[in-house]
Amino acid sequence: MPRPKSYYPSISRRRFLRQGSALLGLLAGGAWTRPGLAKEGLPPLPAASIRPSLAAPLPPLDVKIGQMLMAGFRGLTLEESPVLQANLRDERIGSVVLFDRDVALGSGRRNIASPEQVRHLVDQIQAAAVTPLLIAADEEGGQVNRLKEAYGFPATVSPAYLGVMNDLEKTDAAADSIARTMAELGINLNLAPVVDVNVNPNNPVIGSLGRSISHDPATVAAHAEQFIAAHHRHGVMCTLKHFPGHGSSRGDTHYGFVDVTETWTEEELIPFRKIIADGMADAVMTAHIFNATLDANLPATLSHNIITGLLREEMGYDGVIISDDMQMGAISNYYAFDEAVQVAVLAGVDIIALSNNIRFARNLPEQAHSAIRRMVEEGKISEARIDQSYRRVMALKERIALA
């Protein structure tokens, strides 16, 4: 869930190639260490096919709904966020997402200040949770990274740089550094890699920011799988984004409606298909793009045709599906909040992502939780549909020994 483009510094192709080469040398040589943090990663993940027993007893409805919500919050410590404390105590959320900047305030103070502070924050949050949490962050590398060098974390290179190098060993070294850092902090879900194909290099939110690995779908898939494999060595999950492909867009869904009908092709599905077929897809994040070729009425996040029909039924994916941030303009400018949440759940989304960062609303997670519960009570969403998402989320947590 990257923040609006105004927060990305510009960087030339020559500069990112020059800096990237130097950084990869440091990463491969292990020159950077984090004082006071463990240097060993977690055990490798078990096989992706593991699922909890369908006969396992299910908790109350409120708890199941809570596992479907990923929320952002303000504070460098748990004490700074009484609302988060209450949501954890009452099991109203199942995941949190960390940011380094507070977009709504235009402030650099959000959740990340130093390695030691983040480790303490994550430990506090997990200790307060009744059911262990997915702790997520966007750590793609390059311009989209929350764990910045300025806060004491290792420097990173962009996916575009790695694609230009087209050396899987370099990609492995870069991804291993990211994954090791996240594991040492207790962050167990990376909202990366981007597997959007670089169809439009001038794309304001993908191509121009160096977030796409390549214009070649096979290259995207190969490097994304290497990125994922490196994370799995450290017990960190990954998230493919943005389904069904954002690389050909001419607009930014942070700000409003983005139509890719005339620019999108099925080649943009190739990386998703390959990674899913190879059993390496931990989670998939939706795009808020509109594509009349796939659904003539709704953007992808809200589309049953795209989420359930294409991704689940045609492509055979049965893992967790996470929405992109529901506060982004492509959704919030055109749909009432409760309506968007309802339609996303009915489309097949398992985790509703609420950054609470583009705009901050103190009770946003509670609003989403209450809306879903009311829809179940009114018969607009079946409890069986909630059970599907609950089981998928718990299966993902079980793979990192959280369940």
- Please give the full DSSP string across 171-199, using - where no structure is assigned: HHHHHHHHHHHHHHHT--EE---B----S
Q: How confident is the model at residue 218 (pLDDT cuts 50, 70, 90)?
A: very high
Q: Which fold has domain 54-399?
A: TIM Barrel (3.20.20)
pLDDT (tens digit, 9 = 90+) per residue, 312-332?
999 999 999 999 999 999 999
The answer to whether the pTM exceeds 0.85 is: yes
Concerning whether 278 is annotated as a catalytic residue, the answer is: no
Residue 214 CA to residue 231 CA, distance in Å, equals 20
Residue 46 has pLDDT above 80, yes or no: no
> What mean pLDDT comes out for the span 295-322?
98
Please say whether the beta carbons of 146 and 139 come within 8 A.
yes
Q: Dump pLDDT digits (tens) for 223-282.
A: 999 999 999 999 999 999 999 999 999 988 987 899 999 999 999 999 999 999 999 999
pLDDT at 6 over 50: no
From first CA to last CA, the distance across the chain in angstroms is: 25
Active-site choice (223, 231, 234, 254): 254
Per-residue pLDDT, 50? 33
Q: Which residue has the tokens 């090791």?
A: 180
Spatial separation of the C-alpha atoms in residues 211 and 74, rounded to whole Å:
26
Beta partners for 190? 137, 238
pLDDT greater than 70 at residue 25 = no
- Residue 55's pLDDT is 53
Q: Is the pLDDT of residue 217 over 60?
A: yes
Provide the mean pLDDT of the chain: 88
Residue 252: what pLDDT? Answer: 84
Which of the following is catalytic: 100, 295, 324, 325? 324
Higher pLDDT, residue 154 or 10: 154
Percentage of the residues of the chain whose pLDDT score is greater than 90:
81
Average pLDDT estimate for 117-133: 97
Compute CA 286 distance to the chain's CA centroid, rounded to the nearest angstrom: 9
pLDDT over 50 at 27, yes or no = no
DSSP category for residue 402? -
Q: How many CB atoms lie within 10 A of CB 244?
A: 26
Rounded Cα–Cα distance for residues 144 and 138 (Å): 7
Report the candidate in 270, 266, 314 with the shortest Cα–Cα distance to residue 293.
266
**Statement: residue 45 has pLDDT above 90:** no
Q: In the chain, what percentage of residues exceed pLDDT 70?
A: 86
Q: How far apart are CA 64 and CA 387, in angstroms?
A: 7
Residue 246 appears among annotated catalytic residues: no
Query: DSSP H helical segments within 200-303, as ranges?
Result: 217-233, 270-277
Q: Please tell me the predicted confidence (pLDDT) of residue 255.
A: 79
Local confidence band at 335 (pLDDT 50, 70, 90 cut-offs): very high
Say what the pLDDT of residue 30 is: 40
